[in-house]
Structures are given as C-alpha cells and as structure tokens.
C-alpha cells in the first residue's frame, strides 16, 4: 500500500483535470478503497489477503468498484464533475497500490489474479506501526518522496491561492459554497482546507520516517522488493505467465463489460448529467460568494441605490 | 468602454511560507510523540486549518472580548 503518495497525487491530478472534475470528489475517490476496509485490515489473520484478495475486501481495489461508485453518484447527483472526480481518484489509488507485493485485483471479478510489480513489501501483518516503519524503510518511502517532488515541480501552481480561486472553487461551487456557509469559512479557511491534504502528506511522511529511523530503528533498505527484514506478503503463487494470461483475459472481459454498460445505460446517464455551467461558475470566488443562497451578495448596477 | 466580467475585488489570500513551515514543525513534533492523535485522516488534513485559521481567529476574538471587558 502507499501512504502519503495518495495525498500528493491529488494535486498532480488536479493540474490535469482543471475544472472538469471536482477536487473534493478526487479526494474522496482516492480514499474510497481504504475507507471502509483499512480499520479491519490490521486485525485480520492474513492482512494482505484480506485487504487485496478474494475472498476478502480486495474488490475495493478493482477498476470496476470505482466505476460502480461513480455510476451510482452520477445517477443520484447527475454531477459529471463528481462522477469523474471519484473515478479518477479511485483509479489513481489502485494504480499506485499495485506497486507493493500484495498487488491489486485490477479486473475483479473477471480475474482474481493480483497484479503487482513488487516494488516494496505489503507489511500490514506487522501492525500499523510496523507497517509504517517497513514502508518508510523501503522504496515505498522513496515513492512518496517521488510524488511530492512531482507535485512541487510540475503541479506547484495548483497550490497557489489564485489557482484555488480561479479553478478549484469554480469546478465545484456547490460544495465549496456549502462549506463556506455551513462552517462560516472565508476564502482563507477554504484555501487552508484545500492545501491541508498536501500538508498532511508531508507531515505524515516526515513523522513516520523519523519513527522508522529513531523509534523502530528499522534498517533503511530502499531496494526492489524490500525491506528484507519483513516476510513477503504475496497473495498469489502463480507464475508470471499465468498472471499475464489471466490478467489479459480479465482485461478483455472488463473492457467488453464496460462497453456493454455504456451502451445499456452509461451513455444515457452521462447525457442526463450536467457540468457546472460557466454562468454559475462565474469568475473565481464569485462562484460561491455570490450564489443566490449566499448572504454575501455585492450590489449590481440594477440593485444599487440611486 | 468595453465591459469586462466582474472579478472578485479582494486580492487573493496571502499566507507567508513561514507560517506553513512553523505549522509543519509543530505537526511533526506532536505527531512523532503522539502518533495516532494527528497521524490520521481526520486531524491530519484539518491541522493546517486549525493552526493557521481557527485558533488565531478564536484567540483574536477572545482577546477582543477581554479588552472590551477590561475597558469598561
């Protein structure tokens, strides 16, 4: 599993989706695979198999789970930016997680074969603290740092107040507006909430890294498949040819199923959905501070007293 | 005169980088010693909001109240 990388990639995704997807939806999407399952993972007899396998809750780390959730949200809310955001966020999470030894069942239920590149060991068997120490003693910690650098080098603009004002809020004026009105948060508060996820990622990366070095004192082994002191948590005994064939069949069936769903109801749902119109989005923060339901409306020419 | 779309008149919020660094140091120190209190998905993302907006705002409001009471 990845730790802080899930927070850093949010801003990298945001840079590419702009106003097409809601940032808050991407956030929920990235947390979706672990939200209902992570609490039970550390208590399971075989954490890796429970977390990523079948039988278990491994289906939450499949492409289809994200699609099903996004379709349900699109059907209920009709919001394309939320459906798209959830889907992108969810897929980003599982495509990040396939780097550990447990892997992810990408094409579940068409293939229950975990796909993995075994870059670092899935160490949930060590408990939460042991898992953190193992992760930040392996290439997993380097992976987090890589995503932090990617964000700071290529997506730094997404962290600026002006980007938040001109892109992030207008992409989802309803929810930011709701946060503004319900919690009485001004622009400064909303901006800090938005930047808070990167802050959390950096903070947890440093704190757990320090814990691994000074408290747990685990050896730092950033090599492929490390750390060496943790037993492997592969949940499949299949050879790479078998994995390749099963995954290939799963991929073909998944694509065919997606095409059928698109033809049967997906396209209809998408066409029935809506994008936030530019008229509602308005220029930047007007999107939320001047919605009809907002009390803070500035006088226009027509309403100005003579 | 061409009519340009109305833009938000207030300048964008500016928060000095020093405040972020200070908040990060506080976060890491507390998180290192307490672990689960801050290193979770509720307190973690809200910490910045708490330290750079909610606590200063509440403190300023408290001080204002105290000043008005003492001036009476």
List pLDDT tens digits, range A161-213: 999 988 999 899 889 988 998 999 999 999 999 999 999 999 999 999 999 99
- Alpha-carbon distance A137 to A140, whole Å? 8
Answer yes or no: is pLDDT of A284 > 60.
no
Tracing tokens 């990298």 back to the chain, one arrives at: A12
- What is the average pLDDT across A43-61? 89
Least Cα separation, residue A199 to chain B (angstroms): 7
Of A160, A199, A283, the CB nearest to B48: A199
Nearby residues of A166 by Cβ (< 8 Å), 6 or more positions away = A283, A284
Of B15, B32, B47, the CB nearest to A210: B32
Return the structure tokens found at A127. 């408990």
Answer yes or no: is pLDDT of A297 > 50.
no
Of A188, A210, A298, the CB nearest to B53: A188
Least Cα separation, residue B62 to chain A (angstroms): 18
| Residue B56 domain-assigned (yes or no) | yes
- Split at pLDDT 50, 70, 90, the class of A293 is very low
Q: What ipTM was assigned to the predicted interfaces of this complex?
A: 0.86
Q: Across chain B, how many H-helices and E-strands are there?
A: 3, 0
- Alpha-carbon distance A146 to A222, whole Å? 13
Average pLDDT, chain A: 88
- Split at pLDDT 50, 70, 90, the class of A140 is very high
Chain A hits for B44, CB-CB cut-off 8 Å, are: 196, 200, 203-204
- Alpha-carbon distance A137 to A257, whole Å? 40
Minimum Cα–Cα distance from A197: chain B residue:
B45
Answer yes or no: is pLDDT of A259 > 80.
yes
Nearby residues of A88 by Cβ (< 8 Å), 6 or more positions away = A13, A17, A21, A26, A29
Q: Is the CA virtual torsion A273, A170, A11, A151 positive or negative?
A: positive
Of B13, B35, B45, the CB nearest to A200: B45
pLDDT of B70: 86
- Split at pLDDT 50, 70, 90, the class of A302 is very low
Please count the structural domains in chain B.
1
Answer yes or no: is pLDDT of B55 > 60.
yes
Let me know: does A49 contact A99? Beta carbons within 8 Å: no
pLDDT more than 90, % of chain A? 68
Let me know: does A157 contact A198? Beta carbons within 8 Å: no
Return the structure tokens found at A226. 């490390």
- Split at pLDDT 50, 70, 90, the class of B36 is confident
Q: Chain A contact for B25, CB < 8 A?
A: no
Q: Compute the C-alpha angle A47/A246/A116, nearest 5°.
A: 45
Answer yes or no: is pLDDT of A298 > 50.
no
Answer yes or no: is pLDDT of A143 > 80.
yes
Nearby residues of A293 by Cβ (< 8 Å), 6 or more positions away = A177, A181
| Residue B13 domain-assigned (yes or no) | no
CA-CA-CA-CA dihedral for A119, A51, A26, A249, to nearest 10: 70
In the A/B pair of chains, how many CB contacts fall below 8 A? 88
| Residue B55 domain-assigned (yes or no) | yes
**Is the backbone peptide bond immediately before A154 cis, with ω within 30 degrees of 0?**
no
Q: Which residues of A touch B (CB under 8 A)?
A: 31, 129, 160-162, 165, 185, 187-189, 191-193, 195-197, 199-200, 202-204, 206-208, 210-211, 283-286, 289, 298
- Alpha-carbon distance B70 to A138, whole Å? 58
Let me know: does A13 contact A88? Beta carbons within 8 Å: yes
Of B5, B23, B48, the CB nearest to A283: B5
Chain B hits for A202, CB-CB cut-off 8 Å, are: 24
- Alpha-carbon distance A164 to A161, whole Å? 5
Of A189, A203, A285, the CB nearest to B49: A189
Tracing tokens 């059928």 back to the chain, one arrives at: A260
| Residue B7 domain-assigned (yes or no) | no
- Split at pLDDT 50, 70, 90, the class of B8 is low
- Split at pLDDT 50, 70, 90, the class of B2 is very low
Chain B hits for A188, CB-CB cut-off 8 Å, are: 13, 15, 53
CA-CA-CA-CA dihedral for A260, A265, A271, A273, to nearest 10: -120
| Residue B31 domain-assigned (yes or no) | no
pLDDT of A235: 81
| Lowest-pLDDT range of A35-39, A117-121, A281-285, B9-13 | A281-285
Chain A hits for B5, CB-CB cut-off 8 Å, are: 283
Q: Is the CB of B35 less than 8 angstroms away from the CB of A162?
A: no
Q: Is the CB of B53 less than 8 angstroms away from the CB of A210?
A: no
How many residues are listed for chain A in this entry? Answer: 306
| Residue B63 domain-assigned (yes or no) | yes
- Alpha-carbon distance A51 to A183, whole Å? 35
| Residue B45 domain-assigned (yes or no) | yes
Chain A hits for B39, CB-CB cut-off 8 Å, are: 204, 207-208
- Split at pLDDT 50, 70, 90, the class of A45 is confident
Answer yes or no: is pLDDT of A282 > 60.
no
Q: Is the CB of B13 less than 8 angstroms away from the CB of A191?
A: yes
For residue B48, give its domain range: 41-72
Q: Is the CB of B28 less than 8 angstroms away from the CB of A211?
A: no
- What is the average pLDDT across A130-149? 95
Q: What is the 3-state secondary structure (H, E, C) of chain A?
A: CCCCHHHHHHHHHHHHHCCCCCHHHHHHHHHHHHHCCHHHHCCCCCHHHHHHCCCCCHHHHCHHHHHHHHHHHHHHHCEHHHHHHHHHHHHHHHHHHCCECCCECCCCCCCCCCECCCCECCCHHHHHHHHHHHHCCCHHHHHHHHHHHHHHHHCHHHHCHHHHHHHHHHHCHHHHHHHHHHCCCCHHHHHHHHHHHHHHHHHHHHHHHHHHHHHCCCCCCCCCCECCCCCCCCCCCCCHHHHHHHHHHHHHHHHHHHHHHHHHHHHHHHHHCECCCHHHHCCCCHHHHCCCCCCCCCCCCCCCCC
- Split at pLDDT 50, 70, 90, the class of B62 is very high
């Amino acid at each position: 599993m990845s730790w802080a990388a899930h927070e850093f990639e949010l801003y990298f995704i945001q840079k590419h989706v702009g106003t097409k997807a809601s940032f808050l939806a991407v956030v929920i999407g990235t947390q979706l695979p672990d939200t209902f399952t992570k609490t039970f993972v550390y208590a399971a007899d075989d954490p890796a198999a429970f977390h990523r396998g079948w039988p278990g809750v491994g289906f939450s780390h499949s492409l289809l789970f994200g699609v099903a959730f996004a379709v349900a949200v699109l059907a209920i809310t009709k919001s394309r930016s939320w459906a798209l955001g959830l889907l992108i966020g969810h897929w980003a999470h599982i495509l990040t997680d396939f780097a550990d030894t447990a892997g992810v069942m990408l094409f579940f239920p068409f293939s229950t074969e975990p796909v993995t590149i075994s870059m670092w060991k899935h160490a949930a068997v060590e408990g939460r603290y042991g898992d953190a120490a193992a992760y930040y003693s392996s290439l997993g910690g380097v992976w987090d740092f890589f995503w932090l650098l990617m964000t700071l080098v290529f997506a730094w603009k997404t962290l600026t107040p002006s980007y938040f004002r001109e892109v992030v809020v207008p992409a989802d004026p309803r929810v930011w507006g709701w946060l503004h009105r319900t919690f009485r948060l001004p622009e400064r508060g909303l901006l800090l909430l938005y930047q808070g996820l990167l802050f959390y990622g950096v903070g947890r990366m440093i704190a757990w890294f320090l814990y691994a070095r000074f408290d747990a004192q685990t050896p730092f082994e950033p090599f492929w498949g490390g750390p060496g002191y943790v037993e492997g948590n592969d949940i499949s005994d299949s050879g790479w040819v078998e994995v390749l064939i099963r995954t290939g069949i799963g991929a073909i069936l998944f694509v065919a199923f997606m095409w059928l769903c698109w033809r049967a109801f997906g396209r209809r749902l998408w066409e029935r959905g809506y994008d936030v119109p530019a008229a509602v989005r308005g220029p930047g923060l007007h999107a939320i501070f001047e919605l009809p339901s907002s009390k803070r409306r500035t006088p226009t020419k027509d309403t100005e007293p003579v | 005169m061409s009519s340009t779309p109305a833009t938000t008149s207030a300048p964008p919020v500016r928060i000095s980088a020093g405040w972020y660094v200070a908040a990060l140091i506080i976060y890491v120190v507390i998180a290192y010693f307490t672990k689960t209190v801050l290193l979770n998905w509720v307190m973690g993302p809200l910490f910045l909001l708490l330290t750079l907006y909610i606590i200063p705002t509440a403190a300023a409001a408290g001080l204002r109240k105290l000043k008005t009471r003492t001036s009476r």
